[in-house]
Structure 1
Amino acid sequence: MADGLSARETLALVTDDFTELPAPARQSPPDGPLGWPGYDAARARAAERTGEQESVICGTARIGGTRAVLIAFEFGYLGGSLGERTGDRLVAAYTHARKQRLPVVPLIATGGSRMQEGMLALTQLQRVARESALTREAGLAQIAVLRDPTTGGGWATLGAGADIVLALPGAQVGFAGSRVRPPDADPAAYTAEAQVAAGSADAVVRPEELRDTLAAWLRLLSGGRPGQPVEPAPVPAALGSSTLPATGWDAVRRARSPRRPRAHAYLDAYFTHRLAISGDRCGGTDPDGMLCGFGEHRGRTVAYAAQTGAATRPAGYRTAARLIRLADRLGIPVLTLVDTPGAANDAEAERQGAGPAIAELFGAVAAARTPVTTLVIGEGGSGGALAPAAPGNTWATPDSYFSVIAPELAAAILKRPPGEVESTAGQLRLRPQDLTALGVVRGIRDVTP
């Protein structure tokens, strides 16, 4: 096998109680629907070599304490390719998952669609995409594991279409397989690590850690209430100063202090454990500007999107929007932490679509049926800070400010000298107590006793 593991060995890596689902019956003409010479013989040899009757094995199992439907690809069977019988098994697996209200875990190792079945093989991707979409609509999580190789339509449907995408180290991952790429293509671009760096996958997980990682993800993503009323996430306690700023400039100075607690400190204090998602699924990540993921707070799953105090880049906004849409589908409440001097506004940020990315996050928050809770923990710089904030459920800490624009920029726009920046901060009424009086925030959070 390309990654050294058969489908059965991969299943044994993540669970001990796999129960295979019955395979749907399909009558095929000799040598398949196209009458491809030698196709039946090739399938017979693949079955003898692997002990399997198709390129996927589907069934149910517990991973940790959570039951799930597992789909394991057997790369030794015609390169894990997808044909009509493969599609039948996948449809049956997803249908079973919806009937039993179970998450789906594809363990993928495939070279793509089966040439011996022509376009009938390729159209299985449409069937798979439909089943995945129905499963999303049902509020059930999909967590893909990318083995070596994961290429072609299997990557572009079961893999990249999953809610959470994990990958084994060094796995070949890409839409183009090694035999069809341009001769000058950089092979490093077609790896699990490259896909994580490009925002197309969430994490690389070592084989010995895969079972525990899947168990943790399944536990978190199965902890919601899709389609039912959801209680908002509790507002975190403030971690910094307990006194309110005397002036607007004092609020700005305190929010910019390097000694003030940042997102990591708040997330560590709030969650007993958490797992991160990474990437906007369109080529970008923003690990320095936005932290996103799911965690457990007082026994309940809460999704989080937390700005880190740096300027937030377009990929950060898109990742946060992705998180909120996923939490909304799964019935999981969301916590957002606001802390940014503003959206990144350099030329590269504009080329990456800063405006559309911010609009996407505004839209995700506005459309969310699941409740969103927001705490401003530091700087609240303009629309780049407002985008993740919950209308009507935003709170502030004593160490924070929220402003239509930074005082220095406001003074510049008004053509005021530098000496008037501090007084301009006061005029903007950006202190936590000002924001409460204006009705912009609901209140000021107390410091942990």
Structure 2
Amino acid sequence: MTDRPSAREFLALVTDDFTELPRPAGQSPPDGPLGWPGYDAARARAAERTGEEESVVCGTGRVAGVRAVLLAFEFGFLGGSLGRRTGDRLEAAYAHAREHRLPVVPLVATGGSRMQEGMLALTQLQRVARESALTREAGLAQVAVVRDPATGGGWATLGAGADVVLALPGAQVGFAGSRVRPPDADPAAYTAEAQVAAGSADAVVPAGELRSTLGRWLRLLTAGWDGPAPVPGPLGARDLPVSGWDAVRRARAPGRPRAGAYLDAYFTHRAALSGDRCGGTDPDGMLCGFGEHAGRTVAYAAQTGAATRPAGYRTATRLIRLAGRLGIPVLTLVDTPGAANDAEAEREGAGPAIAELFGAVAAARTPVTTLVIGEGGSGGALALAAPGRTWATPDSYFSVIAPELAAAILKRGPGEVEATADQLRLRPQDLAELGLTRTGDQLFPGTGDRRSEERM
């Protein structure tokens, strides 16, 4: 990026109003805690140039109408570096957020820890991490905006450690700053766009759209339901399949409504989470995010009909845990022939990723509602399903294994696949009769609602 607004200019860009918090009292010893020659003079020059006394400006403001605590870094003040006085301000701001139950918005532009304060500066990262963790435990959202540059420990705590990470186009973002990277390092890897592609940030947002986008996220993350998410109505077939193979055929039909259609019908607007924070994304297999339904927020994790990759399962796990901390119910849409089973998926940790999602659903702190909208392929689909709170549309099926694979394992010929599908009892009405899914008038007209006596 060529244009680098000051902290206060950036605050004016994203807030409707801003009130700075009182600055913690205290003075540094001459030339700082290490007695670094010329440190006081450098600070004085930075103050004269920027009009600030430290590298961060902390206060409260409204972002598109939503009140929040904002932490805006001033890169012109010694490269936005973190020192002890920076830590004092950040600690006080986080404490204010918890006291007043406000979300926190770090606006990160920093080169890292301040060398003139040595290890005392570096340990401010631990201090910031603790404040962020306490705020997370208090059930308050943290939405970071990474500016240019966002490197070092500031990126690795205030930026990458936030619940949602938005980035400005072309911003330099990465743990290693430009002066400490290997000489042959690809600079394209240290950009906002690269961090989104790697699953470490959620979206690149142009500066002109930042206030509205940030405000939308803050509204969504602070307006959950008191109970479970309502079950969506079916968008496809209303009549039940006559046979097991008919159920499979309908679920695999190219024209059958997919996750995107269900999400569009269910939400008035939504915002997507992207990435597993472990280096991966699965945009073709899993859609995750938060949306508004009937004026309240519901989180969603939706399979798209493709094989789900490990990054997709990890992103869904991230979503369910975040929703639980924020008190937001979750809607999951099951639609996959199964988990990706190629060699690369194994190298990416398919088993552990699925195990983590099973655990997240089992331990969810808010209700999870599941609708099977297409194929329910074995454990790769079951991992996303809520025990005791799963419904199935008339054009879906759920099976321990695909009929073709079941026939092959049983050494049956191709002509016996359809009969095998019947034996598997995978139709939506079979699942309800077995007590594995719930029924309701919105899915099976005239059935009322029967709760499962067993857990899936």
Alpha-carbon offset, residue 448 of structure 1: 11
2:117 match: secondary structure: helix
1:384 match: secondary structure: helix
The aligned counterpart of 1:214 is 214
1:237 to 230, 233, 238: 233
Partners of 2:175 and 2:4 lie apart in 1 by 21
Matches within 5 A, 1:4-403: 4-224=4-224, 230-403=226-399
Alpha-carbon offset, residue 64 of structure 1: 1.4
Amino acid at match of 2:347: R
Partners of 1:352 and 1:439 lie apart in 2 by 35
Amino acid at match of 2:76: G
2:399 match: secondary structure: coil
Partners of 1:304 and 1:36 lie apart in 2 by 52
2:232 match: secondary structure: coil
Amino acid at match of 1:205: V
- Structure 2 residue runs of 5 or longer lacking an equivalent are 446-456
**What are the superposed Cα offsets for residues 353-403 of structure 1, whole Å, 9 maximum, x if unpaired?**
000000010010011120000000000000000001000000000000000
Partners of 2:190 and 2:444 lie apart in 1 by 47
Alpha-carbon offset, residue 27 of structure 1: 2.1
Amino acid at match of 2:304: T
**What are the superposed Cα offsets for residues 406-425 of structure 1, whole Å, 9 maximum, x if unpaired?**
00011111111111111000
**What are the superposed Cα offsets for residues 148-177 of structure 1, whole Å, 9 maximum, x if unpaired?**
000000000000000000000000000000
Superposition TM-score, scaled by structure 2 size: 0.96
Partners of 1:421 and 1:447 lie apart in 2 by 27
Partners of 1:32 and 1:3 lie apart in 2 by 31
Check 1:445–1:422 CA distance in 2 against 1; reply closer, same or farther (3 A cut).
Answer: farther
The aligned counterpart of 2:417 is 421
Partners of 1:55 and 1:170 lie apart in 2 by 22
Check 1:21–1:141 CA distance in 2 against 1; reply closer, same or farther (3 A cut).
Answer: same
Alpha-carbon offset, residue 224 of structure 1: 2.7
Partners of 1:134 and 1:3 lie apart in 2 by 34
1:409 match: secondary structure: helix
Check 1:423–1:124 CA distance in 2 against 1; reply closer, same or farther (3 A cut).
Answer: same
Q: Which deviates more from structure 2 when the two are superposed, residues 14-23 or residues 331-340?
A: 14-23
**What are the superposed Cα offsets for residues 234-255 of structure 1, whole Å, 9 maximum, x if unpaired?**
0000000111000000000000
**What are the superposed Cα offsets for residues 314-335 of structure 1, whole Å, 9 maximum, x if unpaired?**
0000000000000000000000
Partners of 1:445 and 1:286 lie apart in 2 by 34
Alpha-carbon offset, residue 447 of structure 1: 5.8
Amino acid at match of 1:193: E
**Is the Cα–Cα contact under 8 Å of residues 237 and 445 in structure 1 kept in the other structure?**
no
Partners of 2:444 and 2:393 lie apart in 1 by 11
Q: Percent identity?
A: 85
**Is the Cα–Cα contact under 8 Å of residues 15 and 211 in structure 2 kept in the other structure?**
yes
**Is the Cα–Cα contact under 8 Å of residues 94 and 132 in structure 1 kept in the other structure?**
yes
**Is the Cα–Cα contact under 8 Å of residues 3 and 171 in structure 1 kept in the other structure?**
no
Amino acid at match of 2:116: Q
Partners of 2:150 and 2:4 lie apart in 1 by 14
Alpha-carbon offset, residue 65 of structure 1: 1.8
Amino acid at match of 1:248: G
**Is the Cα–Cα contact under 8 Å of residues 397 and 445 in structure 1 kept in the other structure?**
no
Superposition TM-score, scaled by structure 1 size: 0.98
Alpha-carbon offset, residue 446 of structure 1: 3.2
Partners of 1:17 and 1:197 lie apart in 2 by 33
Number of equivalent positions = 445
- Structure 1 residue runs of 5 or longer lacking an equivalent are none
Amino acid at match of 1:313: R
